[in-house]
Amino acid sequence: MTSQNSTLQPPSAHPPLALLSLGALGVVYGDLGASPLYTLKTVFDPAHGLAPSDTNVIGIISLIFWALMIVVTLKYITLILRADNHGEGGIMALLSLASSSVSTRPRLRNTLFLIGGFGAALFYGDGVITPAISVLSAVEGLEVATPLLKPYVLPITLIVLIALFLLQQRGTGGIGAFFGPIMALWFATIGLIGLVNIWAAPQILAALNPIHAVAFGMDNGWLAFIALGAVVLALTGGEALYADIGHFGAKPIRLAWYTFVLPTLALNYLGQGALLLSNPSAISNPFYLLFPTWALYPAVGFATAATVIASQSVISGVFSMTKQAIQLGFLPRMQIKYTSDKRIGQIYVPFVNWTLLAIVVMAVLGFGSSTNLAAAFGFAVTGTMVIETLLTFFVLRFTWKYPLLLALLPTVFFLTIDSAFFASTTLKLAQGAWFPLAIGMIVFFVMNTWNQGRQLLINHLRSAAIPLRPFLESLFSNPPTRVAGTSVFLTADPTGVPHALLHNLSHNQILHERIVFLTVEYLEIPFVPADNQLSVTPLIENCYQITVRYGFMDQPNLPYALELCKANGLEFEPLRTSYFLSREIVVPSPGTGMTLWRDRLFAAMARNASNAAEYFKLPANRVLELGARVEI
């Protein structure tokens, strides 16, 4: 389906591969590019009890390097990027792909929805922590330049973050073109400064041998297990590779990783390790101490710009996932603003934006430093990693039809690694990991309540609905007065009589000369193919049943959908078409599918949901909304 200004289908002509790869640097790899700012400092935090000895430094750098190789390169780049849902990625797209592969097994399908829904909810926790830790860790470089600036770190961080969230309502189309070149320069800079430090202590190159990672784990036991919860910080943003496949495609993302991102990240981590071998006291901030004194202030400014870009990518990802969750029935309708006429991915969700800002500010003030925030960071990321591995198994087994053994082997391998990281981050629940967990639990509870309440409401309406065809036959046996124009009745149940029609007959006792019963269906695919977007079924006496189908990435626009009916011999004049909406006023009652207080929560969400007329782009002066009380 298309909008009035642009087609919603993915463009058939793509920019050159090099240009797409450059764009991927700015959007896909921002979070991974910010990780060197805080990863190694967190690993050797004195609170963890791990001394920055030569053996430990080489072992940790080896762990980081091979974590990047196994989790990012093998799991995401090699395997999960192949599991695109009609060209789109992200946990919602993966959930749709996995659940549709077991559509004949409703119990398993519902279980997958619960698991995938929780993974999506955890992403909101990531959306809070990423801007907070990224920007704060960048600004903390001022402390390295001079301790006199320490009191200004938090205020500057808050100013940058508030400005970032204020920018969202204007869209990022104008500055988005600079993201790729800035991040390309950032990766080149951190790779080069890492290489300079490796030159001074080349023995760090031994970390490329995985034996040192294994030896570190065997020698340190429990301390090594604790260290995994910090090593995983080097992987934050890895899931973005899959989430942004729809914007760039798999090939540019892979090209950017192999030719630029992986080499420069490896050089920087190796460089930090080399610095610690030469100067163990540099553990206070091994990233910024890579730079000569004269370059510290420019490095802080550059790092802040890079972390703002990384944060922007995560915030945009939260907006996109919110839209997908709404159209898949996990969240109530919200106001969504499209900030670009050329790119459908450019959206702004005001409620989510201001809620995120409030929680991000609380996180910065509450945790106070990037080291404290790091304890909260890994939990949401590793939880999402585990869930994506589980969902990928169902794609391997039931969508791609792999033999059970071939589907199990990569699943067990990656699940073992993901679970080790996840288990390590659970040790930090008391230190801060409770924060993203609490956010995820709240969002998951809201999503589950809305989804379940919506199903109860639909079932109630269907059970109480009057069958449409017999009703029309009875109505037109003694028809009421008919007036010029077209009435369009939006209904979730195409087989039942809309409440709005019954109220209109009861109060006005007239019908328009043409009546349309319009149903919107959301399919578990990103974009609906053109030949399946619309179906028109003639009924009797100039009445029609029209079904419009959208994917979870499509932009709903019902007036435009009606324009497409010309191919079926139906033309709609905008000034002679009236839209009738039924707004159900939910009345909580005991003894139904949910507890009373959850019924009340669902009723409150339904009451505050965005107006359907605005959501479906209906002209405000042609809409009549009629309410009906429904007990659930």
- Predicted local confidence at residue 342, as pLDDT: 54
Phi/psi of residue 355, nearest 5 degrees: -65, -45
Q: What is the pLDDT of residues 557-604, one digit of tens each?
A: 999 899 888 888 888 888 889 999 887 778 787 766 788 888 889 889
Phi/psi of residue 621, nearest 5 degrees: -85, 5
158 against 327, higher pLDDT:
158
What sign does the dihedral 89-92-93-98 (CA atoms) show? positive
The answer to whether 587 and 593 are in contact (CB under 8 A) is: no
- Predicted local confidence at residue 412, as pLDDT: 96
10: tokens are: 């993915």
The pLDDT of residue 408 is above 60: yes
Taking the CA of residue 17 as centre, how many other CA atoms within 13 Å lie in the half-sphere pointing to its CB?
A: 8
Q: For residue 519, list its beta bridge partners.
A: 547
Beta-sheet pairing, 577-587 with 481-490: parallel
Phi/psi of residue 322, nearest 5 degrees: -60, -45
Phi/psi of residue 141, nearest 5 degrees: -60, -25
**590: region left, alpha or beta (phi > 0 left; psi from -120 to 50 alpha):** beta
- Predicted local confidence at residue 8, as pLDDT: 38
Q: What is the pLDDT of residues 278-295, one digit of tens each?
A: 999 999 899 999 999 999
Mean pLDDT on 544-556: 89
- Predicted local confidence at residue 176, as pLDDT: 62
Model confidence at 56, in pLDDT bands (50, 70, 90)? very high
The answer to whether 137 and 160 are in contact (CB under 8 A) is: no
In the chain, pLDDT over 70 holds for what percent of residues? 95
Closest-CA residue to 284 (of 429, 143, 472, 379): 143
Exposed/middle/buried for residue 565 (C-beta within 10 Å: 0-12, 13-18, 19+): middle
Give whichever of 254-263, 373-382, 505-514 has the largest mean pLDDT: 254-263
- Predicted local confidence at residue 288, as pLDDT: 94
Give whichever of 16-25, 268-277, 569-578 has the largest mean pLDDT: 268-277
Model confidence at 165, in pLDDT bands (50, 70, 90)? very high
- Predicted local confidence at residue 14, as pLDDT: 54
The pLDDT of residue 6 is above 60: no
The pLDDT of residue 148 is above 90: no
- Predicted local confidence at residue 525, as pLDDT: 82
Average pLDDT, the chain: 87
Q: What is the pLDDT of residues 457-506, one digit of tens each?
A: 888 877 778 899 999 999 988 888 889 999 999 988 888 888 888 888 88
- Predicted local confidence at residue 343, as pLDDT: 54
Phi/psi of residue 240, nearest 5 degrees: -65, -25
Mean pLDDT on 203-217: 96
**Count of beta carbons in the 10 Å neighbourhood of residue 466:** 14
The answer to whether 206 and 212 are in contact (CB under 8 A) is: yes
> Which residue's structure tokens are 């189908």?
549
The answer to whether 624 and 578 are in contact (CB under 8 A) is: yes
Chain region(s) in the chain for CATH 1.20.1740.10:
18-448
Model confidence at 340, in pLDDT bands (50, 70, 90)? low
Exposed/middle/buried for residue 538 (C-beta within 10 Å: 0-12, 13-18, 19+): exposed
The pLDDT of residue 133 is above 60: yes
The answer to whether 99 and 378 are in contact (CB under 8 A) is: no
- Distance in angstroms (rounded) separating the CA atoms of residues 109 and 120: 16
- Predicted local confidence at residue 12, as pLDDT: 43
- Distance in angstroms (rounded) separating the CA atoms of residues 85 and 367: 38
Model confidence at 175, in pLDDT bands (50, 70, 90)? low
Mean pLDDT on 103-118: 89
The lowest-confidence range among 133-137, 175-179, 180-184 is 175-179
The lowest-confidence range among 38-42, 83-87, 335-339, 589-593 is 589-593
Q: What is the pLDDT of residues 515-531, one digit of tens each?
A: 999 999 988 888 888 78
Phi/psi of residue 3, nearest 5 degrees: -90, 180
The pLDDT of residue 262 is above 70: yes
Q: What is the secondary structure of 468-529 as a DSSP string?
A: HHHHHHHHTTS--EEEEEEEEEE-S-TTB--HHHHHHHHHH-EEEEEEEEEEEEE-SSSS--
Closest-CA residue to 242 (of 116, 378, 94): 94
Mean pLDDT on 55-67: 97
- Predicted local confidence at residue 273, as pLDDT: 96
* Helix/strand/coil for 88: strand
The pLDDT of residue 3 is above 50: no
Mean pLDDT on 348-364: 93
All residues at 6 or more sequence positions from 236 whose CB lies less than 8 Å from its CB, including other chains = 31, 32, 35, 126, 130, 377, 378, 381
- Distance in angstroms (rounded) separating the CA atoms of residues 152 and 139: 9
C-alpha 281 chain-centroid distance: 39
The pLDDT of residue 177 is above 70: no
- Domain 18-448 -> CATH class: mainly alpha
Contacts 24+ apart (CB under 8 A), 531-535: 533/1, 533/561, 533/564, 534/561, 534/564, 534/565, 534/568
- Angle at CA 302, nearest 5°, toward 298 and 308? 150
Model confidence at 217, in pLDDT bands (50, 70, 90)? very high
Amino acid at 181: P
> Which residue's structure tokens are 């910010």?
34
Model confidence at 15, in pLDDT bands (50, 70, 90)? low
pTM, 2 dp: 0.85
Q: For residue 546, list its beta bridge partners.
A: 518, 536
Model confidence at 545, in pLDDT bands (50, 70, 90)? very high
The answer to whether 510 and 537 are in contact (CB under 8 A) is: no
